[in-house]
Chains A and B, each alone.
Chain A
Amino acid sequence: MATAQGPLTLFDKVWRNHVIATQADGQQLLFIDRHLVHEGSFHGFNKLKEKQAKVSRPDLTFGIVDHYAPTKVRDLTRVDPAIAGMITQLEENCRQNGLRVYGFNDPRQGIVHVVGPEQGITLPGATIVCGDSHTSTHGAFGAIAFGIGASEVAHVLMTQTLWQKKPKRMRVRFDGKLGPGISAKDMALSMIGRIGADGAQGHAIEYAGTAVAGLSMEGRLTLCNLSIESGARCGLVAPDATTVNFLRGRPLAPKDEIFDRAAEAWLSLVSDGDAEFEREIVINGTDIAPVVTWGISPEDALPITGAVPQPEAIGDEGRAAHAREAIDYMGLRAGMALTEIPVDRVFIGSCTNSRIEDLRAAAAVLSGRKAMVPGLVSPGSSLVKQQAEQEGLDRIFIDAGLEWVDSGCSMCVGMNGDLVPPGERCASTTNRNFKGRQGPKARTHLMSPAMVAAAAVTGRLTDVRDLMGGRA
């Protein structure tokens, strides 16, 4: 629907619905519909205490234990007291302020960006914030969702609002149809490899095109999750029948006639045909191969058929220096084929790739095979774990020789003690291959769940398409 302001994008429409006030300098006060807090939000709660303030909307604030959740022992008296303290501190802050809490022993506990959609906390057209950069995940529902710092967490706790400057609009269109073995992870890493880890800074990305429309909600969540790794403020996908069907019956989604009214409103959240974007990128989905990262930034991403870059072939001094630093840290040789890189362990989990569909994709490759290296599989939530066990996926991972553990952020960030040992190389379904991210001196290669499974089977980075004969 075009308006007096001219044609609008999906992002414009959701943004406009949340503006409370506009300052002369362009800063706008936005209402926040959903605020998710986790153990790391303690700085925000401390600021609240300093001001002797109360949580403005406890009904719209949700506490979820994930960053420090131990995955191998479900008893807080048997873990590092400093880690247990982080968890009880969150649970206590939530109780004192009357928030809904998905605590450590709650059967619905899991990673905040998995639990939000699963419980129907995440809704199309909403504004969603959390003190975690991967909050961009929730944009998969056509919500404006972004990560905030502790000062902003405190501001939202106290006022349920946030001052923001509207970001620029960018559309990334994935045309065509993905090939067999290609997933949303490969789409996202291809894009980041192309535009750079700061390529979308200051922008809100709308993902569009046939390859995006063809993704399940799980795939869209992975795609939007990785928006932040391109520097974008957030990523969105327009709601459609896939979105509405996913939400129907979720515990905190609207019910009955309110659901029908909401669904009608959600389906109208699409960019107008002639809406303008400051930037537009088109990627042919049909051409995307499985992608892995070789370096220390998510932009160091290449198709598995490629080779480690030669720094001397890079003209720009800053970029050549980055490539040398990455090759040195990762212990690689310039020019070596990516499939020559051996791995020491694997990790399947994190807010990027730990949903049921991710576990199914990895299990399809591992079924009836043995892993050459050790590895950890941590489902995105306790409910995902339950479902995977009902489907028998846990047996496939265990029979392959991998550890099947409980839900949490786990080895993506290592806060709970699940770490990659120094110098070891991990094929990982996570989101950041930063130096030391999975532990001091740990080396991370990012890839899809199917590609991690393939690396587990051969003990080196491997094109999963070579292992797929006759499999899903």
Chain B
Amino acid sequence: MKPFTKLEAKAAPLPFASVDTDQLIPARFMKRSRSEGYGQYLLHDMRFDSEGKPISDFPLNAPQREGSEILVARRNFGAGSSREAAVYALVDYGFRCVIAPSFGDIFASNSVNNGLLPARVSEEDAEELLSLLENGHESVFVDLENCEIRVANHVFGFEIEPVWRTKLLNGWDDLDLTASYAADIARYVESDREQHPWLQQLPG
């Protein structure tokens, strides 16, 4: 996984609360293979009308937002289903960071597993960031080492679970870490067979 340290990029405002995973990628697109790329389905039913034409006043469709890598939204972003496809859609579209006051837990964990930074800010700061983006600012600087966001001369702090911060900074994959614990896993299973045989061995 590609490490995430600093990012200076165009940002797009998404001034909605509870942008859930069903909106991030509607269920009907989830039969497709990842190799086709999920970016075209991101926020599909918010971006396109029923004939498939882009909805002109939707923020991501504005010409100046093209190529955005940072998304700013209101609270409870990514609530809902565990579908990692919601993160694939954001990543394949080009996003590397989402800034919001709160995130669905499973979404946030899926994000980190795909190198996408879920940066938590206060509701006031989210409103101010949205307002800056809606009033002419286009570029945002995100610094994961210092947990800081900058827009022109405005500075905002953000929060992230320290475990996730380390993982993103290093681009670590859990599997490598787990492999080094193989002997501990084997010891656990052996002891649990004694203590909780009904968990380790099914009847029949």
Which of A90-98, A123-131, A393-401, A462-470 lines the interface with chain B?
Answer: A123-131
A231 adjacent to B76 (CB under 8 Å): yes
Interface residues of A in 10-60 (CB under 8 A from B): 17, 20-21, 23, 25-27, 29, 31, 33, 40, 43, 46, 51, 59-60
Interface centre among A147, A198, A261, A317 (most CB of B within 10 A): A198
Total interface residues on A, using CB and 8 Å?
Answer: 80
* B135 on the A face (CB < 8 A): no
A317 adjacent to B127 (CB under 8 Å): yes
B34 adjacent to A43 (CB under 8 Å): yes
B177 adjacent to A161 (CB under 8 Å): no
Known contacts: A149-B84, A231-B105. The answer to whether A252 contacts B163 by CB under 8 A is no
B114 — which chain A residues lie within 8 A by C-beta? 151
B203 adjacent to A435 (CB under 8 Å): no
> Which residue from chain A places its CB closest to the CB of B22 in the assembled complex?
A434
> Which residue from chain B places its CB closest to the CB of A155 in the assembled complex?
B174
B102 — which chain A residues lie within 8 A by C-beta? 198, 201, 231
B203 adjacent to A147 (CB under 8 Å): no
* A413 on the B face (CB < 8 A): yes
Q: Mark B80-107, 1 if CB is under 8 A from A, else 0.
A: 1111110100000000000000111110
For the complex formed, measure the closest distance between the CB of A157 and the CB atoms of chain B, giving whole angstroms. Answer: 11
> Which residue from chain A places its CB closest to the CB of B87 in the assembled complex?
A149
* A246 on the B face (CB < 8 A): no
A255 — which chain B residues lie within 8 A by C-beta? 203
For the complex formed, measure the closest distance between the CB of B172 and the CB atoms of chain A, giving whole angstroms. Answer: 10
Q: Mark A63-85, 1 if CB is under 8 A from B, else 0.
A: 00000100000000000001101
Interface residues of B in 49-88 (CB under 8 A from A): 50, 74-76, 79-85, 87
* B162 on the A face (CB < 8 A): yes
B17, B27, B31, B184: the one within 8 Å of A21 (CB)? B184
B163 adjacent to A27 (CB under 8 Å): yes
Return the 7 tightest CB-CB contacts between A and B, nearest first: A149-B110, A149-B84, A254-B198, A151-B113, A147-B82, A150-B84, A198-B76
* B23 on the A face (CB < 8 A): yes
For the complex formed, measure the closest distance between the CB of B55 and the CB atoms of chain A, giving whole angstroms. Answer: 13
B175, B184, B199: the one within 8 Å of A20 (CB)? B184
A40 adjacent to B163 (CB under 8 Å): no
B196 adjacent to A265 (CB under 8 Å): yes
Bound CA span A71–B56, Å: 38
Which of A304-312, A318-326, A450-458 lines the interface with chain B?
Answer: A318-326
Bound CA span A150–B87, Å: 10
A422 — which chain B residues lie within 8 A by C-beta? 50
B113 adjacent to A201 (CB under 8 Å): no
B196 — which chain A residues lie within 8 A by C-beta? 17, 125, 262, 265
> Which residue from chain A places its CB closest to the CB of B103 in the assembled complex?
A201
A322 adjacent to B22 (CB under 8 Å): no
* A437 on the B face (CB < 8 A): yes
B81 adjacent to A31 (CB under 8 Å): no
* B15 on the A face (CB < 8 A): yes
* B157 on the A face (CB < 8 A): no
Bound CA span A325–B46, Å: 12
Known contacts: A163-B174, A265-B196, A322-B17. The answer to whether A25 contacts B45 by CB under 8 A is no
Known contacts: A31-B185, A151-B113, A155-B178. The answer to whether A126 contacts B199 by CB under 8 A is yes
A25 adjacent to B163 (CB under 8 Å): yes
* B161 on the A face (CB < 8 A): yes
A146 — which chain B residues lie within 8 A by C-beta? 106
* B189 on the A face (CB < 8 A): yes
A86, A149, A165, A202: the one within 8 Å of B82 (CB)? A149
Report 13 cross-chain contacts, Cβ distance below 8 Å, ordered by A residue. A125-B199, A132-B81, A149-B83, A150-B85, A161-B185, A231-B104, A258-B197, A297-B76, A318-B127, A413-B81, A432-B22, A434-B80, A441-B45
A413 adjacent to B27 (CB under 8 Å): yes
B113 adjacent to A149 (CB under 8 Å): yes
* B154 on the A face (CB < 8 A): no
Interface residues of B in 139-198 (CB under 8 A from A): 161-163, 166, 174-175, 177-178, 181, 184-185, 188-189, 192, 195-198
For the complex formed, measure the closest distance between the CB of B117 and the CB atoms of chain A, giving whole angstroms. Answer: 16
